Amino acid sequence: MASFHVVRVRVSWTALLALAHFIYLLAGATIFRILEREAENYNRNHFLMEKLNFLANYTCLDGDALEYFVKVILYAKKNGVNPSGNSTNPSNWDFSSSFFFASTVITTIGYGNLSPSTVSGQVFCVFYAFCGIPLNLAFFKQLGKCFTIHLGRLEKGLVSVVPHKQAFEAVAASLFFIAGTFLFLVIPPLLFSYVEGWTYGEGFYFAFITLSTIGFGDYVVGTNPGKTYIYLYRSVAGIWIIFGLAWLALIFNMAASIMEHVLDQTYPSLRKQREAENMPSSEIEATSKI
Across residues 70-98, what is the average pLDDT? 75
Structure confidence at residue 229 (pLDDT): 86
CB 82 within 8 A of CB 222: no
Nearest residue to 246 (alpha-carbon basis) of 175, 100, 140:
140
Distance CA 265, CA 193 (A): 43
Structure confidence at residue 287 (pLDDT): 47
Mean residue pLDDT across the chain: 80
Binning pLDDT at 50, 70 and 90, where does residue 131 land?
Answer: very high
CB 133 within 8 A of CB 239: no
Distance CA 206, CA 221 (A): 9
Nearest residue to 185 (alpha-carbon basis) of 232, 236, 245:
245
Element (H, E) at 282: helix 281-289
Distance CA 282, CA 288 (A): 10
Task: Fold for 93-288, please state it.
Answer: Helix Hairpins (1.10.287)
Element (H, E) at 16: helix 13-57
Across residues 180-196, what is the average pLDDT? 93
